[in-house]
Amino acid sequence: MNERRGFTLIELLVVIAIIALLLAILMPALQRVKKQAQATICLSNLKQIGMAAELYAHDYDRFVPRGSTGSNPIWFMQFLPYVGQKHNQGDYKGVKIYRCDSFPTTGSGLYGVPNKRQTVCYVMNDWTFSSRTDNSGTSIGRPTKLSVFRRPARTIYMADNEDGDWRPIIEREDSPEIIRCDIFIRTHLPDSESHHINDGRRIARERHNQGCNVLFLDWHSEYVRAEDMTIDMWRDK
């Protein structure tokens, strides 16, 4: 009579050790694939926002929204009719392209999820300059006609929003923190070390690899290394 023989304890331990080793090898690769996929989705989000901005400009005499100040509705509300939501009937929080999947996660490991409290993960170019030699600039705070921008293919319109305890979480369209989601001074750039609530870094330094994704004013999106981003990439003149 044949006896049925199971695994010995040693054999089970060997199998478990092999599985653990394979997981240790695969997990970093899976993390990289996940981050690459998130970066690609983010670029697509920005591209779609750019398409909405172009449609908006077509309807409003070639003007586009700029910063977060003034009496005008914030950009993500103005673009609602162009992303499948009516301005007065839609909820902007249902527009997935306003959020980057790589925004810092809750939980840990491969299955962490984006912080659901942050409903807008991009910051807007509100920088205006008096001339090409002006290296300071100021906030413009009002819509701008596209013809003002001399180099739309090289001028950034939006970029990944930095995270950190000095950066605001936007939970609703009338949040008072919206005023801190635009770019208009040197220390807002990703190479800044400032964590000041108003003057600190606002553009993500390491959201995607060692940089961030941006939307240019010809409405193409691309990745830019933090160390390569300059004031000139934000100039309207």
C-alpha neighbours within 13 Å on the C-beta side of residue 95: 29
Residue 151: band (very low, low, confident or very high) from pLDDT cuts 50, 70, 90: very high
Q: What is the DSSP letter of 46?
A: H
pLDDT at 109 over 60: no
Please state the pTM of the whole predicted model: 0.83
CA distance 26 to 22: 6
Q: What is the pLDDT of residues 31-65, one digit of tens each?
A: 677 788 889 999 999 999 999 999 999 999 999 99
DSSP 111-130: G-EE-TT----EEEE-EE-S
pLDDT at 7: 66
Domain ranges of the chain: 9-234
Does residue 42 contact residue 216 with C-beta atoms inside 8 Å? no
Mean pLDDT of 190-194: 97
Average pLDDT value for the chain = 87
pLDDT at 113 over 80: no
pLDDT at 114 over 90: no
Strands 63-64 and 144-145: antiparallel
